[in-house]
Chains A and B, each alone.
Chain A
Amino acid sequence: MEKLQKFSPEKITSDLLPQKFGRRGMIWTTILVVICCIGAFAYIKQLREGLVVTNMGDYVSWGIYISNFVFFVAISLVGSLITAIFRLANVPWRTPLTRISEIIAVSAITFASLIIIVDMGRPERLVYLFTHGRIQSPIMWDVIVISTYFCISLLLLYITLLPDIKMMIAAKDKLGKPFSKLYRWLGTFWKGTAAQEKIRNKSITIICIVTIPVAFCIHTVTSWLFATTYRPGWDSTNFGAYFVSGAFLVGAGAVVVAMYVFRRVYKLEHYITEMHFDKMGKILVMLALLYLYFNVNEYLVPAFKMRKPEEAHLTGLFAGEFAPLFWFAILVGMIIPILIVVFPKGRKPNAMFVAGVMVVVGAWFKRYLIVTPTLLQPFLPKYDAPARYSHYFPSWEEWAITAGSLAGVLLIITFFARVFPIISIYKTITDQNETEQSS
């Protein structure tokens, strides 16, 4: 194993403290803000005119909003994978990746909740979920587990951040004014005493243990929104595991991409090393194979029988209207990344970045393919309904809102990295001390 180069705590602190946006940072942020504003504009239009601005119809009654929602829920599972599972398994190299994965989780789950409101015909009645909620409905289960996961993820992010906040308050001179008030508000009470440290460690362990079942729940319940119906392509007992495995894959892909970008932008080569890419690469291959395995189950078993309702759905995917997208999602989302990353050369940062992007993009389209083609194959023929209901391609408003939500996730991550260290300074220093002592 490649050894981390040793640095003095002062060097680590100054390397990892949040930095002001450079010119590239400003351009990047501006672009994201503009995309968000276009999305907000489209949403205001939708609020005024109703969902008629979308291209959904009575057959495709769930479109790109719902598939985007599933995508966000999926990607947010990474918080539990990297932080909780790695911590409990005591994976030593996880430190530089935990905070990245936690902020991805928090921002993605935030936008998952927002995008589901966007999909509602009557968003002003959101409160009815609490005043008139029926616990029998899978939507209520989703509301419960997603809000729980949101709170847990936020808490995990905050508690692991506390020692760093203390350092940032101490480094006031270096960081300047802009966020000092925020730091003090968040973390003045944290003195880092032994008693506090004990509570903190205990809390993190408890949260990590709790996070794993809740994370499984959010995506299993999300899969049940589909699997509790009768429709071909959704009516599957495999759906929970299929969704969870896909979620871990896209989450790992997203972490790889984020690792690469932060490493480049913040010059973190000494902290996020090639070893990290190598390890993440192996995990990515394993997860991609796992997801591929579930895909085989999900498509080949019904295809073997070709029951009448499934037939139209499956032939549409394999060779029909959705075939290009389907094979794109399978190849780009799983097979090509596996082929790249399975070789040691493919686990170098640049190749890993490409594989990570492929996984994420493939996963986004995969969610679209899970939602839409099924709705176009109802049990009774599509008939006595407007002809435009028989096809679906999102309207510009839908694209704009979806792009806005994706930009929103990136914007939260960007701002977070501007305000807080993206790699835990405290943990990096303690890790180094521990290795010194043990060697």
Chain B
Amino acid sequence: MENNSTSRRKFLTAGILAGAAVGCSSKKNPFDSYAGDDVKASGETVKLLSVDGEIIEVDKAFLKPVPHMPSVSNDEARKGIAGKKFVMVIDLSRCKNLKKCQSACNHAHHVQEGQNWIKIYPMQDAEMTAPYWQPTTCMHCDEPPCVKVCPVDATFKRQDGIVLIDSDRCIGCRFCMAACPYSTRVFNWGKPDLPEDVANQDYNAETSTPPKKGTVSKCDFCPDMTRMGMLPHCVSACPNGVYFFGDMYEDSVTNGSETFRFSDLVKDKAGYRLMEDLGTKPSVYYLPPVNRNFKFEDGLTKEEPAEKKS
């Protein structure tokens, strides 16, 4: 099974091109709509894979890079994808505190130095119980306390269950941060430290980037990736397959290499959600740290000495 997102993206691009090649066959020049009449064949060809699985050759001059997939407007991003309900399952028995999820997430979303959307907590529930590593994302609650308290509809819940932030709307009152029991939200206290070209971009609610001064940010379940049929960055970055992501209505979750029926997985492994007693109804499920792949201590190498702890 394909689990490398880069090669999958290449495959997808090629597929779209090939699809265009087949679909436009009634016209004189199959690439008219792309390239216009003035394009002359260069003689150099490239091989592409058609939808039928055949290798075809196309002149290079007719190729035009297809934009990845157009981004949606912030109004569209507010609605979400109809007929979907995204869920995440985090298997605590697989986590070794490698923090690959965290660095991939921070990189993709330009999370500021020191702040993290994904936090990996060393947890120990009681003195005699075993310690374990617990990654947390935004829980994308079905009863989100943050959305309840937002005075200007800057943070909102979409029909596919994802809770997002519109930084163009956010007034920076930070009530949502006080309301969230999962310490998931971060605030851009100063001017974010960003490359010039990123900083000048308009805010995109779907990618939650670029971070804007004086507004709140948090994990967004990467709705831009899910819209394109891809997995969130943390899921594909984790080499141990800790994160499973999927659609509850399809009842399947995948970490890229393994796919499970969501209901079976949560039932068989006794899945649970964090702070169930608060009634927030998270969309993130945890599988308990039993039959672990790694010892807790294996994760300690990733920790910097004491000062990081509270």
Write the residues of chain A forming the contact surface with B, with a CB cutoff of 8 angstroms. 49-52, 54, 56-59, 61-62, 119-123, 125-126, 128-129, 132-134, 136-140, 143, 225-226, 228-231, 375, 378-387, 390
Contacts and interface: CB of A to CB of B under 8 A. Distances in A.
A125 B186 CA distance: 19
Interface stretch (B14-22, B30-38, B176-184): B176-184
Interface in B211-227: 213-216
A58 B186 contact: yes
Contacts of B170: 121-122, 125
Contacts of A379: 181-183, 275
B18 to A, nearest CB: 44
A50 B171 CA distance: 13
B153 A120 contact: no
25 contacts: A51-B172, A51-B189, A52-B189, A56-B189, A58-B177, A58-B187, A61-B177, A119-B173, A120-B214, A121-B172, A121-B213, A121-B214, A125-B169, A128-B171, A129-B151, A136-B148, A138-B149, A138-B175, A229-B178, A379-B181, A381-B123, A384-B119, A384-B120, A385-B119, A386-B114
Contacts of B308: 383-384, 387
Contact of B187 (A121, A126, A382): A121
A121 B275 contact: no
Nearest to A380: B183
B178 A134 contact: no
B64 interface: no
B190 interface: yes
A129 to B, nearest CB: 6
Nearest to A48: B191
B152 interface: yes
B271 interface: no
A225 B171 contact: no
A379 B274 CA distance: 11
Nearest to B135: A384
A137 B151 contact: yes
B174 interface: yes
Contact of A61 (B119, B121, B149, B187): B187
Contact of B121 (A132, A138, A381, A390): A381
Contact of A380 (B121, B153, B278): B121
Contacts of A387: 307-308
B310 to A, nearest CB: 4
Determine chain B's interface SS by DSSP, over half rule. loop
A356 B246 CA distance: 62
Contact of B179 (A128, A132, A133, A229): A229
B116 interface: yes
A147 to B, nearest CB: 14
A383 B309 contact: yes
A383 B212 CA distance: 23
Contacts of A225: 175, 178
A134 B122 CA distance: 38
Leading 8 A-B pairs by shortest Cβ distance: A121-B172, A52-B190, A121-B214, A382-B310, A384-B119, A386-B114, A139-B151, A137-B151
A62 B115 contact: no
A225 B151 CA distance: 11
Nearest to B112: A386
Contacts of A229: 145, 149, 178-179, 181
A394 to B, nearest CB: 14
Nearest to A141: B151
A224 B299 CA distance: 41
Nearest to A139: B151
A121 B217 CA distance: 13
Contacts of A49: 190-191
Contacts of B96: none
Interface in B259-302: 275, 278
A384 B121 contact: yes
A122 B212 CA distance: 10
B152 A62 contact: no
B151 A133 contact: yes
Interface in B85-132: 102, 114-116, 119-123
A225 B172 CA distance: 15
B187 A380 contact: no
Given A119-B173, A383-B309, A384-B116, A375 B178 contact: yes
A236 to B, nearest CB: 14
A375 to B, nearest CB: 7
A390 B183 CA distance: 13
A62 B149 CA distance: 15
Contacts of B171: 120-123, 125-126, 128-129
A416 B64 CA distance: 73
A137 B308 CA distance: 35
B151 A134 contact: yes
Contacts of A51: 172, 187, 189-190, 214
A428 to B, nearest CB: 45
Interface in B119-169: 119-123, 136, 145, 148-154, 169
B185 interface: yes
Given A52-B191, A58-B186, A390-B310, 18 more contacts: A50-B188, A56-B189, A57-B189, A61-B178, A62-B174, A120-B214, A128-B169, A129-B171, A134-B151, A134-B152, A134-B153, A137-B149, A143-B151, A225-B178, A226-B178, A380-B136, A381-B121, A387-B308
B183 A59 contact: yes
A368 to B, nearest CB: 16
Nearest to A128: B152
A134 B307 CA distance: 41
A59 B183 CA distance: 8
Contacts of A226: 178
A167 to B, nearest CB: 45
Contacts of A386: 114-115
A385 B178 contact: no
A62 to B, nearest CB: 6
Given A122-B215, A231-B181, A132 B169 contact: yes
A138 B150 CA distance: 8
B145 to A, nearest CB: 7
A226 B120 CA distance: 27
A385 B190 contact: no
B152 to A, nearest CB: 4
A387 to B, nearest CB: 6
A134 B278 CA distance: 23
Contact of B189 (A54, A62, A137, A139): A54
Nearest to A56: B189
A125 B178 CA distance: 20
A128 B172 CA distance: 11
Nearest to B212: A122
Nearest to B121: A383
A22 B214 CA distance: 45
A50 B275 contact: no
